[in-house]
Amino acid sequence: MITALMGPPGSGKSNMAVKTAPKQPVHCLDIDRKVRAQFLDSVKAGTLTFKEIGDTISEDGLRGRVHALVKNEKPSRAPRGWNNFASVCEAADKDPLFQNAGTILIDSYTQLAPHLRAHIQFEAGKSKFVWDHWSVWKAMWQETTGILIDYCLHTATDGCVIPEGKFVCDHDKPEKDLIITIHERVSEKPGDQTERVIVTKADGGGKSREYLGTMNVLICGSIDGAFGLEFGTFFSDVYALRVDVEKGKPEWVCRVHPDGKRDLRCSFPRAKEAEYEPNFKHIINGIARKD
Ligand SMILES: [Zn+2]
């Protein structure tokens, strides 16, 4: 199961992943630095391990950062966040916390984004993104996601490499699951009601498009650029979480099938309903919500 959980903050994505992931224990790359505050009970119970990736986005401090942004200058020191994340991922096959995990959880892609942005800005020597940087940005998201998926599909829950052409290791253990969490953003795409497109040359050699008429509104992942729209294609399961409040009582909902705005998908044949409690076991077994 290669899963993305979309939803606004507080919709229960991390909770669903940590508490209900079918393959335990969960190893969380904790970019939001939430585990300490929210899931210490799971850590104590041994069902959750974690590595905090967070680091200040800019090593220059806030004053230096404003200066660099205004002057479009390179930050004076390299930001460490993306490097931290990359080196943790690169060492996965030697890291016992990765190797022993049933599920790898990246929480969250949304909070990882500013680290990658700061890193590209540093490497480029500019604080503003121009055309070329957007293609680096998209390529890095695709590659990072691809590497994480490959690791999980080829490494069994006991840490063995799964032989080519097999679904289990020599000890009959299946592949690891991957869960990523991501916030949502609203995106507009040209559709039947879009009347005209005006294309102009933009700064840095790219093209900018202006649309006339009505656009189709989509809700996609909160990564800027094309990857936010396309990320779902990498995952076998994409669910949207939300909180409904009725008579002052919150109810957490996990939608697993498309709703016309979001590109959702579910790989479990027993999940016939569109919406479930945010619990993987309920979705896998098709256990309907209580009224
Ligand atoms: Zn094995």
> Alpha-carbon distance 133 to 144, whole Å?
16
Q: How far is the CA of 175 from the centre of ligand 1 (A)?
A: 10
CA distances for 191 relative to 72, 97, 228, 263, angstroms: 36, 46, 18, 16
CA 12, 258, 182, 102 dihedral sign is: positive
Mean pLDDT (whole number) for 87-110: 95
Residue 18 pLDDT: 98
Residue 105 pairs in a beta bridge with 28, 179
CA distances for 196 relative to 139, 179, 209, 212, angstroms: 30, 40, 10, 5
Q: How far is the CA of 135 from the centre of ligand 1 (A)?
A: 39
Mean pLDDT (whole number) for 167-190: 93
Q: How far is the CA of 179 from the centre of ligand 1 (A)?
A: 22
Q: How far is the CA of 134 from the centre of ligand 1 (A)?
A: 41
Share of the chain above pLDDT 70, in %: 92
pLDDT digits (tens, 9 = 90+) for 151-175: 999 999 999 999 999 999 999 999 9
Phi then psi for 246, rounded to 5 degrees? Answer: -125, 125
Residue 124 pLDDT: 86
Residue 145 pLDDT: 96
Among candidates 7, 17, 8, which has minimal Cα distance to 38?
17
Mean pLDDT (whole number) for 196-218: 74
Identify the residue with better confidence: 212 or 75: 212
Domains of the chain, each with CATH number or no CATH: 2-285 (3.40.50)
Q: How far is the CA of 160 from the centre of ligand 1 (A)?
A: 5
Residue 57 pLDDT: 59
Phi then psi for 275, rounded to 5 degrees? Answer: -135, 145
Asked if 13 and 108 count as a contact pair (C-beta separation under 8 A), the reply is yes
> Residue 28 contacts by C-beta under 8 Å, 6 or more apart in sequence?
17, 18, 35, 39, 48, 49, 50, 51, 105, 106, 107
Q: How far is the CA of 90 from the centre of ligand 1 (A)?
A: 21
What is the chain's mean pLDDT, rounded?
Answer: 90
In a 10 Å sphere around its CB, with 0-12 CB exposed, 13-18 middle and 19+ buried, how is residue 44 labelled? exposed
Q: How far is the CA of 130 from the centre of ligand 1 (A)?
A: 47
Share of the chain above pLDDT 90, in %: 68
